[in-house]
Amino acid sequence: MTDPHDLPPTAEGRPIDWTAALAEHGRWLRLVVLARVGDRHAVDEVMQEVALAAVSQHAPLRDRAKLGAWLHRLAVRQSLLFRRGQGRRRRLMVRHADLNLAREDVSAESDPLDWLVRDERAALIRTALDRLPRRDAEILLLKYLENWSYREMAAHLGLTPSAIEARLHRARARLRSELSASHVIEVPE
């Protein structure tokens, strides 16, 4: 284990405990990476690169309060480098079913028709999410899977709450349009 005193200091002079920092932010960073690379099997590899880049940083972090936003930028950068290294574009949510989007467990007493309808609807929603820009899918995942408030998202993504609200509004509208085109929902005129 690395001694925290051997780690690069912040501008304030205190070293950052990267193990604790990455453990604290790891869950939502994994969602960000998944939203960017679209392959749940690649998340661990990209997160290792994020950890390595964080530990071997060349410029010290100036403000500890912005650690979440800095890690977010680092995760996005490492995700883009991973995708570039793969040599092909990956679809955003090919394996999104593993996230279990509020899916209920199907019991033996369930009506098979209800199960089929739920399953088909979930597949159509995943397909609609696949068609969204990566940034839209990312912000929707953080809002609805992590149940983050606008302030929490703003703090972690390095944006203002009003920018988060505007992005979320546009992402919802795009998802609604995709779902309407797939006849999953009906949009009143």
For residues 44 and 111, state if they share a domain.
no
pLDDT of residue 16: 78
110, amino acid identity: S
CATH number at 68 reads 1.10.1740
For residues 39 and 69, state if they share a domain.
yes
| Domain stop point among 27, 57, 86 | 86
Determine, yes or no, domain membership for 98. no
For residues 114 and 82, state if they share a domain.
no
For residues 82 and 8, state if they share a domain.
yes
Judge if pTM exceeds 0.75. no
Query: Mapping DSSP to helix (H, G, I), strand (E, B) and coil, where does residue 63 land?
Result: coil
β-bridge partners, 15: 9
pLDDT along the chain (189 residues), means of 10: 44 70 87 86 89 77 80 88 65 39 47 78 83 88 87 90 93 89 67
Determine, yes or no, domain membership for 93. no
**Cα gap 136→18, rounded to integer Å:** 29
pLDDT of residue 167: 93
Determine, yes or no, domain membership for 37. yes
Determine, yes or no, domain membership for 45. yes
Neighbour-count burial of 105, counting CB atoms closer than 10 A to its CB (0-12 exposed, 13-18 middle, 19+ buried): exposed
For residues 126 and 177, state if they share a domain.
yes
| Domain stop point among 34, 54, 86 | 86
Domain span at residue 174 reads 106-181
**Are the CB atoms for 170 and 159 separated by under 8 Å?**
no
| Domain stop point among 31, 56, 86 | 86
**Cα gap 141→84, rounded to integer Å:** 23
Determine, yes or no, domain membership for 92. no
The two tokens of residue 140 are 């929707």
**Domains in the chain: how many in total?**
2
**Are the CB atoms for 76 and 28 separated by under 8 Å?**
no
**Cα gap 79→181, rounded to integer Å:** 30
Contacts for 182 with CB less than 8 Å, ≥ 6 apart: 124, 127, 128
pLDDT of residue 94: 37
